[in-house]
Amino acid sequence: MKRRNFIKLSGLSTTAILVSSSIPFLSSCSNNDMNMGNNMDMGGNMNMGQPVPVTEGNFSALFAFPPIVGGTTTLTAQNVTANSNEFGNVKGLGYSSGGLLGPTIKVNSGQSMNVNFVNQLNEKTNIHWHGLKIPANMDGHPENFINAGGSFNYNFTVNQRAGLYWYHPHADGTTGKQVFQGLAGLIIVNDSEETALNLPSGNRELPLVIQDKRISAGSILYAPTMMDQMAGLMGQYILVNGVYAPIHNVETAKYRVRILNGSNARIYNLALSNGASFTVIGNDGGLLATPQTVNSLTVAPGERADLIIDFSSMGLNSELFLISKTFIGGNAQGKQEFKIMKFKVTTQVVDNFSIPTTLSSIAPLTESMATKTRNFEISNVDSGSMSGMMMHTINNKSYDANRIDELVPNGAVEIWTFDNTNGQEPHPMHLHGVQFQILNRTGGRGTLTALEKGWKDMALCMPGEKVKVIVPFNGYTGKFVFHCHNLEHEETGMMGQFQVS
């Protein structure tokens, strides 16, 4: 993004800019990159963002399943009014007139998608198919946008494993705002391997898009302050599938709960309110090789978690909450435990499903397979020039559509290392057009979580962490982006381009 466009696109108010210039280090006229590591004296005036406390609702609104459509469909980005929550009517954005978000697109692996996309917004937008390995011109590159009133036909074949993928806008400068205001949807890819497992389905398969929102005066407000741009914009209300504080009635059975963290910046440390364990069966790129039992699970923006939650031993009329527990994640994240959604057991049934001990076969990639290692320094923020604007960077560079950062030979297997050793903020890093495996994490948590085995398109780098991923570039040639999926970080420059050829 060109810096002169930044102020305009970021939605910062003049007040925020004036305030920022009174913060001593931000108003520095130095062009040098500023390392905001532990030795940075923030003078008490500012830190790397503050938590935005969550306000729990009364959990009386009914959980909603997004409508399901096939791979041939029309999506229309538009203004919508959502009313299925405690706020009454709320204005936001959606891909159909029904409310926030968009339908869940269900396709089989090998099938083609043909989406007639119509932009009824009054600004540019596009669709990125997050996690899908598709041609570059269909991928929703930030420069491939559709102007207000325009339309575009997204047409490609889905050639990959079964899994939970998603779609959202990705036009440069409007991504954070449009996602926050409601534009996102799920893509469920099925294949024969997964079908053979007979996992819970129908009313026992719950898709959950978890997002935090700021709602005021009947609208989803997106006006990031300087502080929000530092930490990422977080909201005080947690919505699930566009509904604030929902309740869902369940049977005494095992449920497949397929979660997308569709938040701009908020990380959740998912757990059950009774402390019971649950089972991770899949993640960004589909099923894990074997099920993993956990008591809590950190899920960053953009990440997916495919879970089995067992209600079978619960008594009739008992209640259970999906919650987010506290965690260590810099100054702005993980400080509060809060409830996300309520389950109430209302029907007693006999459930014979047991989780298969083997889910899939995944050949682990090893370091020796890689022909190149690339290191990405993601700790630093650029204090900007005279403008005093905050820019997030990768290798001390902020996004420039006219610059290719990495040239990758098609077919190569590479190690990409994201180094947040000196950073103070979590950065969920994402690559377009590929699925990768995470090799290891050093510093911080020092280990991989249950969600980080198998195939991934996201790698969360907490402050102090260095995360090494191994990427087979075996998809399509062309120009793709990689970026931090904290969308305010992305919008303030934390994105680069790689060209596969």
Q: Cβ of residue 284: shortest distance to ligand C2O, in angstroms? A: 10
Q: Is 133 in the site for ligand C2O (CB under 6 A)?
A: no
Token digits of residue 217: 């005066």
Q: Judged by CB, which is closer to Cu ion: 258, or 427? A: 427
CB burial string 152-172: b at 16+ within 10 A, e below: bebebbbebbbbbbbbbbbbb
Q: Cβ of residue 392: shortest distance to Cu ion, in angstroms? A: 6
Q: Cβ of residue 427: shortest distance to Cu ion, in angstroms? A: 3
Q: Amino acid identity, residue 275?
A: G
Q: Is 177 in the site for ligand C2O (CB under 6 A)?
A: no
Q: Is 141 in the site for ligand C2O (CB under 6 A)?
A: no
User: 484, 487, 495, 500: which one contacts Cu ion (CB under 5 A)?
Assistant: 484
Spatial distance between the Cα atoms of 255 and 206, rounded to a whole number of angstroms: 7
The option from ligand C2O, Cu ion, none interacting with 302 (CB < 5 to 8 A, set by class) reads ligand C2O
Nearest C-alpha neighbor of 276 from the set 241, 239, 311, 250:
311
Q: Is 427 in the site for Cu ion (CB under 5 A)?
A: yes
What torsion do the CA atoms of 106, 108, 112, 113 make, to the nearest 10 degrees? 10
Q: Is 185 in the site for ligand C2O (CB under 6 A)?
A: no
Nearest C-alpha neighbor of 304 from the set 270, 331, 272:
270
Subset of residues 401 to 440 that bind ligand C2O, contact rule: CB under 6 A: 430, 432
Q: Cβ of residue 126: shortest distance to ligand C2O, in angstroms? A: 11
- Hey, is 463 helix, strand or coil? coil
- Hey, is 369 helix, strand or coil? helix
Asked if 380 contacts 393 with a C-beta cutoff of 8 angstroms, the reply is yes
Token digits of residue 12: 């910062």
Q: Is 479 in the site for ligand C2O (CB under 6 A)?
A: no
DSSP β-ladder status, 391-392 and 278-283:
unpaired
Q: Cβ of residue 289: shortest distance to ligand C2O, in angstroms? A: 25
Q: Cβ of residue 486: shortest distance to ligand C2O, in angstroms? A: 11
The option from ligand C2O, Cu ion, none interacting with 427 (CB < 5 to 8 A, set by class) reads Cu ion
Subset of residues 110 to 149 that bind Cu ion, contact rule: CB under 5 A: 130
Q: Is 213 in the site for ligand C2O (CB under 6 A)?
A: no
Q: Judged by CB, which is closer to ligand C2O: 194, or 303? A: 303
Query: How many other C-beta atoms lie within 10 A of the C-beta of residue 488?
Result: 26
Spatial distance between the Cα atoms of 370 and 412, rounded to a whole number of angstroms: 8
Q: Judged by CB, which is closer to Cu ion: 168, or 248? A: 168
Q: Judged by CB, which is closer to Cu ion: 435, or 486? A: 486
Q: Cβ of residue 430: shortest distance to ligand C2O, in angstroms? A: 5
Q: Is 304 in the site for ligand C2O (CB under 6 A)?
A: no
The option from Cu ion, ligand C2O, none interacting with 453 (CB < 5 to 8 A, set by class) reads none
Contact segment (CB under 6 A) with ligand C2O among 345-353, 390-398, 439-447, 477-485 equals 477-485
Q: Cβ of residue 467: shortest distance to Cu ion, in angstroms? A: 13
Q: Cβ of residue 232: shortest distance to Cu ion, in angstroms? A: 7
DSSP β-ladder status, 237-240 and 243-244:
antiparallel
Contact segment (CB under 6 A) with ligand C2O among 38-46, 403-411, 413-421, 479-487 equals 479-487
Q: Judged by CB, which is closer to Cu ion: 54, or 484? A: 484
User: 130, 177, 392, 453: which one contacts ligand C2O (CB under 6 A)?
Assistant: 130
User: 393, 437, 486, 492: which one contacts Cu ion (CB under 5 A)?
Assistant: 486
Q: Which residue has the tokens 């919650």?
A: 323
- Hey, is 137 helix, strand or coil? helix
Subset of residues 155 to 174 that bind ligand C2O, contact rule: CB under 6 A: 168, 170
Q: DSSP secondary structure string, 390-431?
A: -EE-BTTB---TT---EEE-TT-EEEEEEE-TT-SS-EEEEE
Q: Is 489 in the site for ligand C2O (CB under 6 A)?
A: no
Spatial distance between the Cα atoms of 455 and 434, rounded to a whole number of angstroms: 10
Contacting residues for 127 by C-beta, under 8 A, at least 6 apart? 75, 115, 117, 140, 154, 167, 168, 169, 170
User: Residues in contact with ligand C2O, total (CB under 6 A)?
Assistant: 10
Q: DSSP secondary structure string, 285-348?
A: TEEEEEEEEES-EEE-TT-EEEEEEE-TTSPTT-EEEEEE-----SSSSS---EEEEEEEEEE-
Asked if 418 contacts 469 with a C-beta cutoff of 8 angstroms, the reply is yes
Q: Cβ of residue 480: shortest distance to Cu ion, in angstroms? A: 9
Site residues (vs Cu ion, CB under 5 A): 130, 427, 432, 484, 486, 489
Site residues (vs ligand C2O, CB under 6 A): 128, 130, 168, 170, 302, 430, 432, 481, 483, 485
